[in-house]
Amino acid sequence: MVRACKIILITVLAIFVAQPCFAAKNDSLRITPVVRAVQKASSAVVNISVTRIVERGDSPFKLFGGEAFEMLLEGLPVPQRKYRSQSTGSGVIINGRKGLVLTNAHVLTGGSDIKVKMINGEEFQAEIVGSDADFDLAVLKIKGAKNLPQVAMGDSSDIYIGETVIAIGNPFGYTHTVTTGVVSALKRTVKSKEGAFTDFIQTDAAINPGNSGGPLLNIMGDLIGINTAIQARAEGIGFAIPINRAKRVVKELLASGRVSPVWLGLSGQDLDQGSASYFGLSRVYGVLVTDVYKETPAAYAGIHPGDIILSMNGIEVQDKAGYLGLLRVQTRSEDVDLAVLHDGKVRNIVVRPQSLDLRQIRSQAWSRWGIVVDKDSRGRGMLVGKVRKNSGSARLGLQPGDKIHQIGNQRVSSQQDFLDAFLRYRMNNKVMLKVQRGRNFYYVKLNS
């Protein structure tokens, strides 16, 4: 009897002692590569809240509506009311020592107060170091924080279609939400109201509003992309900016606060059915090169007037607007692959874009449009300062003192707005301007 009791006691003790081992074994099965990746990176993911102060004028005539009333009341005092709005997004710390956070530019647009919240609940004020809407990327600096956790940088050049990826963010305000999926496709182009975004990673990991700016991780927990909730109504489709492109953009944002615009050194025009047939194209697309400037990438690459640019980085160029849109999302440190029709044969050309500084852009605007503009300290719009003789602006009748409010679809209220508009419409033979002279407003076409 005593012996039997001893055996039972020993058995119970053995089970009791072995229980932690079973638990440890079970835990080891549960801690999958996804779990390890999340544990490795989640402390570097932050919640970003942005407060915006919006001013709206409460005009007593607003019930009448219409642009005619807007023009009529231009310059008249209208009571302004300030409204506070708040939105949230995600970000990821890329330099813990300096407190640098990478996120989407659209997360911060119009923000006057930016706060960053860590996974442990700590909250800090942050300021924008640099932002560029064309690339939808921005860098924040966390104030008063040092030695923070940071994500491990990955490499987006060797991503496999079908490999497992993990998204972490704050969709709909639910902080540090983890979703998983696979890489569905690479080098996707997505069009939105802001323009065309290229070279996206496509994934089926859920990316919703609030995820914007958060990390896309590989199974090792390394950062391979920045999530962008650009298709609000898409289900099962998410997009991320490849980290290798983001690295190039970050380098410029840290150096100057913005990404330098680039060009290849050529001008062009759209084709019509007749010219497309003449050049042997089965349909109308591409850009016909009309001018190539000396000592530019296009000149060095052997591109000539009469050539037709058919594609850029594998994406078909539909027209001038499409060409400029694709060029706007290139940096000066990445090559551009062109398919060019030359003497009836398609040539594949690799060129490195050339950066354009503000002085060069102003010079080109003076040469092509024939105007110099200055800020109007008394209100919105840009004042025409100088008009070049025999230019398109002179033939149109623009005079110093006229005020330009809009170029094409872009409102103009700063020197940067004017230069951005020029870059967007510089190849257009005609562009619509909204001009104010005295109290009168006119819509006029500038022929360049």
CATH number at residue 215: 2.40.10.10
Of 131, 212, 267, 448, which residue is the catalytic one? 212
Q: How many domains does the chain have?
A: 4
**Does 389 share its domain with 336?**
no
Q: Indicate whether 32 belongs to any domain.
A: no
Place of tokens 């006057």: 112
User: CB-side exposure of 92: number of CA atoms within 13 Å?
Assistant: 32
Domain membership of residue 1 (yes or no) is: no
Domain annotation covers residue 284: yes
In angstroms, the CA 69 to CA 2 distance is: 104
Domain identity same for 193 and 289: no
Alpha-carbon span 176 to 277, nearest angstrom: 56
Considering the domain boundaries, does residue 333 fall inside one?
yes
Do 348 and 376 share a domain, yes or no? Answer: no
Q: Are residues 119 and 206 in the same domain?
A: no
Sequence-distant (6+) residues with CB within 8 A of 142 are 93, 99, 100, 101, 116, 124, 125, 126, 148
Q: Determine the angle formed by the axes of helices 415-425 and 358-368, rounding to 10 degrees.
A: 60
Q: Are residues 60 and 121 in the same domain?
A: yes
CA nearest neighbour of 391 among 371, 373, 407: 371
Place of tokens 């594949």: 348
Is residue 192 part of the annotated active site? The answer reads: no
Do residue 248 and residue 304 come from a single domain? no
Q: Which of 134, 136, 199, 417 is catalytic?
A: 136
**Could you list the residue range(s) of the whole structural domain that residue 66 is in?**
42-142
Residue 15 lies inside a defined structural domain of this protein: no
**CATH number of the domain that residue 384 is part of:** 2.30.42.10
Considering the domain architecture, whether residues 161 and 236 belong to the same structural domain is answered as yes
The pTM for the full model equals 0.78
User: Which among 355, 388, 408 is the end of a domain?
Assistant: 355
- Give the residue from 120, 142, 164 where a domain finishes: 142
Has residue 22 been placed in a domain? no
Question: Is position 96 within any domain?
Answer: yes
Helices (H), 42-110: 67-72, 105-108
Task: Tell me, yes or no, whether 380 and 364 share the same domain.
Answer: yes
Same domain, 199 and 187: yes
| Contact between 233 and 216 (Cβ < 8 Å) | no
Catalytic residue among 106, 156, 391, 420: 106
Nearest-angstrom CA–CA distance, 4 and 409: 92
Contact 427, 324 (CB under 8 A): yes
Residue where one domain finishes, among candidates 327, 355, 383? 355
Question: Are 374 and 337 part of one and the same domain?
Answer: no
**Does 304 participate in catalysis according to the annotation?**
no
- pLDDT, one tens digit for every residue, the chain (448 residues): 555 555 554 554 454 445 555 455 567 788 999 999 999 999 999 999 998 776 665 555 555 555 555 555 555 555 666 667 788 899 999 999 999 999 999 999 877 899 999 999 999 999 999 999 889 999 999 998 888 999 999 999 999 999 999 999 988 878 889 999 999 999 888 876 666 678 899 999 988 888 899 999 999 999 999 999 766 555 678 999 999 999 999 999 999 888 888 999 999 999 999 999 999 999 999 999 999 999 999 999 999 999 999 999 989 999 998 899 889 889 988 899 999 999 999 999 999 999 888 888 888 899 999 999 998 777 688 999 999 999 999 999 999 999 999 999 889 988 888 988 998 888 888 899 999 999 899 999 998 7
Q: Is 4 a member of any domain?
A: no
